[in-house]
Structure 1
Amino acid sequence: MDQLVDSLAIVEENEREIVAFLKRLIKTPSLSGEEGEIAGIVSDKLSELGYGVDVDGMGNVIAQRGKGEGKTILFDGHLDHIQPGAPEGWRHGPYDAEVVDGILYGRATVDMKGALAAMIYGCAAPEVEGRVVMTHVVHEETNEGVATKKIIEEKGLDIDACVLGEPTDLQLSVGQRGRCVIKITTKGATSHASMPELGVNALYLMTPIVDRIRDENQNLPTHPFLGQGSMAVTALRCLPGAGPIVPDHCEIEVDRRLVPQETLEGVLEEMRGLAPGAQVELLVDELKCYTGYTTEADQYFPGWIIEEDHWAVQESLGALTEGMSRKPDIIGWRFSTDGIATAGQLGIPSVGFGPGDPSLAHQPNEHISLDDVVAAAKGYCALAYRLAV
């Protein structure tokens, strides 16, 4: 206990450094595929704090520390963030890192540079008997789990448990819905727009499909803890798409959120029933990394949940209670995380913990309490000390 107390004191002493480092991260734009500068900043800080550091071909930053005589615990986060959106939507510039009354404003304060700063400093404080592995990955916002899974498999990491640093408002997440992106295509025949009766408008063929998707949303399966699945049309494109031409090609993308009992095969069959006569397929995305590395990724990300009586949950609850002097609630995420790889695909016991209100992620005026960032650093310190044993 004394060693943990000493380690938590180190975190408190580093409060100004944590805040200064976080502000530097916020001032460094790192859109998906453009994470090179921030990867260098993070790598340098990790080395300065005594971690062993490696950057792989994708540009992911991997750090390790500890004696290696106990459990190996993965602390996972991502370097990238989404676009800030229209400047007029922000009271403070998205990359200005302005602080007002202890609140830091900026894109990625919540999702999830606040957690990165807290994690890096928090896990550096204690001496651990086991091993802490830290992954700061690229392209999570576009293809969550792909980079994390690649690191674990290619490096042959034997992970006993994973802590995901996505925002939980300092609570403990034990699961999430999964997701997939389905592309639906209708084919028609072109004609001059002045004579539409001579063509077959592919958009009109798509319209009843969109209506059925909207209506079916309320009938999707429900999980007792994670809630109901959902589906939403998020993109539409018609071709040729210019000039007075009736389109002969229309495609939509459907974001389908999955509860753990659902399968990809079942969802594809469901979509075919909603789109008779149309082409239905899983979307495949191409990842172009800042290093020049490219790969393709299926847009299927399975949901997951870990039971509350699992050792990783119970030890995490105890550690966080020690670290923050308050017991967190158990929650589930509505959004998707790298846990789809660690827990959903690889079966690694995973929990989530991070600073920031999840409802502020991806919003204009995204902001985070600096007190919560420091509290999270203490939480990560205690998690590293109590789990990596």
Structure 2
Amino acid sequence: MDQRELASLTAELVSVPSHEDETAAGDTIEAWLRQETDADVTRDGHGNVVARRGDPSAPSLALVGHHDVVPPGEPQVDEAGEYVVEERDGRLYGRGSADMKGAVAAAMLAFRDAEVEGASRDRSGAGDAERGGTAEDGGIKLVFASFVGEEIGGVGARGAINDGFVPDYAIVAEGSTNYSKPGVTDVVIAHRGRRASTLVAHGANAHASVPEKGVNAVYRACDAVGVVRELDYPEVDVYGERVRGSIAVTEIDGGSAWNVIPDSCTVTVDERTVPGEYAPLDRAEEIEGVEWRVDQDLPPMACSDDAFADAVLDAAGDVQEGEPEHVTKPHATDAGWLAEAGTACVVCGASEPGEAHTDTESVSLAVLSRCYRIYRTTAEYGTSFAE
């Protein structure tokens, strides 16, 4: 694989609109895998593309991405409504280049190129003979998966998991570049989740000239907000890295007219969760007339296998001059769903903080090449990290 092949495949994927319907992008990925590999390629009922190669009975390592994107900004579409893709100064610009079709392309090429059929090398580069092992104990089933619906709550990942997709190990190719220091692609061993909640305060209508005749739902909602403000942020340690959550009231809506005591008021709460911990938002229900409901709960992730986390970090260190670190990520990814199902996950990819979802979204082609090498190197470690 050379960088031009990676740049070309990334540009091809980015050029396919997939913010409303991922079908065409999935078609492109599926067709490439069928043409370029001899893998078992499937398209499930959710629209996910999954390919498998290597020993079917061996432990599985999945390279995971998603091919849906958020809606493009005005500079990212032309007059005909087509996605604009531009390459300049070593970067590829376009909706989805960073989040995350560039990393999907890198994972596709690593899936194709990784040598996983016979003896695999250990993490020092030695073959099975030097380790005293056999081809069987180093074998691996390598999996590529690109999901739909990640941007709307992990719809594709959840569907695949419900259908039985639970690999032993996974590298989720979301962004981890420039987290510990500039110019370095790190390995994320934990990230926060997101729980979206609504507090509903109930009251009783009355004319505003006689407020004592009613029960003001806005006042009750404000009391509930006061409870939320006093809650401590949840915190947890993962492999020595501190992961701290957050809680914020982001919307409040109540009342129907300037002269009517409101009988209803709703409060939206954004909570960033940490592995194994939630804020006790149910305390808001101690306020009379207030009920709490959970509208969305995207799970956090903590890598459940330190040997695997170290192996990916070793691979990352092998292919770049900088010194990558185990780091944490502030927002949810599909790794949360996989980890919840029992997969040992890390996150490692080309996107940089603040790059995704912007009108100037771009990705470094050099960093995409680096990610390709990380994915391929990890796959070629076989299951040495599980020994």
Paired amino acid for 2:33: L
- Quote the offset at 1:94 in angstroms: 9.9
Q: Are residues 226 and 46 of structure 1, via their aligned partners in 2, closer, same or farther at CA, if it must alter by over 3 Å?
A: farther
Contact 2:76 2:84 (C-alpha < 8 Å) held by counterparts: no
- Higher relative contact order, chain-length normalized (CA < 8 Å, sep 6+): 1
Aligned amino acid, residue 216 of structure 1? E
Assess if the C-alpha contact under 8 Å between 1:185 and 1:250 holds in 2. Answer: yes
| TM-score, normalising length: structure 2 | 0.79
Tell me, in whole angstroms, the C-alpha distance in 2 between the residues paired with 1:66 and 1:178.
33
The one-letter amino acid paired with 1:44 is A
Change (3 A) 1:182 1:52: same
Contact kept in structure 1, 2:191 and 2:243, CA below 8 Å: no
2:262 and 2:250 map into 1 onto residues whose CA distance is 20
Task: Indicate the residue corresponding to 1:301 in structure 2.
Answer: 298
Instruction: Pick the aligned partner of 2:18 from 18, 25, 30.
Output: 30
Is 1:115 the equivalent of 2:103? yes
> 1:326 Cα deviation (Å)?
5.3
Q: 1:108 to 1:252 in 2, by over 3 A?
A: farther
Which residue number corresponds to residue 338 of structure 2?
A: 342
State whether structure 2 residue 317 is matched by structure 1 residue 321.
Answer: yes
Q: Distance in 2 between matches of 1:61 and 1:243?
A: 54
Residue 182 (structure 1) shift: 1.1
Aligned equivalents of 2:262, 2:36: Cα separation in 1: 58
Q: Cα distance 1:312–1:94, how it changes in 2: closer, same or farther (>3 A)?
A: farther
Structure 2 residue matching 1:124: 3-state secondary structure: helix
Q: Closer, same or farther in 2 for the Cα pair 1:149/1:199, shift >3 Å?
A: same
Q: How many residues align?
A: 348
Q: Are the aligned partners of 2:111 and 2:143 in contact in 1 as well (CA < 8 Å)?
A: no
CA contact (8 A) 1:181 1:254 kept: yes
Tell me the equivalent position of 1:42.
29
3-state SS of paired residue (1:127): coil
Match of 1:294 in 2: none
**Cα distance in 2 between the residues matched to 1:98 and 1:347:** 40
| Aligned 8 A contact 2:166 2:341 in 1 | no
State the Cα deviation string for residues 72-97 of structure 1 (Å, max 9, x = none).
11111112222335x3799xx99312
Match of 2:326 in 1: 330
CA contact (8 A) 2:284 2:290 kept: no
Q: Distance in 1 between matches of 2:283 and 2:220?
A: 18
Distance 1:376-1:279 versus aligned 2 partners, 3 A rule: same
**Offset at residue 52 of structure 1 (A):** 2.2
Q: What does 1:238-257 align with in structure 2 at a 5 Å threshold?
A: 238=254, 248-257=263-272
CA RMSD after TM alignment: 3.2
Structure 1, unaligned runs of 5 or more: 1-10, 284-298
Q: Which amino acid in the other structure matches residue 302 of structure 2?
A: I
Equivalent residue, structure 2, for 1:154: 163
Select 2:244's aligned residue among 223, 228, 242: 228
Which runs of at least 4 in structure 1 moved beyond 6 Å after TM superposition? 191-199, 241-246
**Which residue pairs with 1:269 in the alignment?**
282
Separation (CA, whole Å) in 2 of partners of 1:201 and 1:176: 40
Q: Alpha-carbon deviations, 1:126-176, whole Å to 9, x = none?
A: 2213211222111112213x5324324423x56221111111012111111
Q: Helix, strand or coil: the match of 1:382? A: helix
Q: Which of 333, 342, 353 is matched with 1:358 structurally?
A: 353
Percentage of pairs with the same residue: 30
Q: Give the corresponding residue for 2:129.
A: none
**What secondary structure does 2:30 align onto?**
helix
Of 1, 9, 17, the residue aligned with 1:21 is 9
Q: Report the CA distance between 1:252 and its aligned residue.
A: 3.0
Distance 1:320 1:243, change over 3 A: same
Distance 2:273 2:208 in 1: 40
Q: Tell me, in whole angstroms, the C-alpha distance in 2 between the residues paired with 1:267 and 1:115.
A: 37
TM-score (norm 1): 0.78
Q: Tell me what 2:189 maps to.
A: 174
Distance in 2 between residues matched to 1:194 and 1:89, nearest whole Å: 53
Superposition deviation, residue 272 in structure 1: 3.1
Larger Rg: 2
Q: Give the letter aligned to residue 143 of structure 1.
A: G
Change (3 A) 1:160 1:192: same
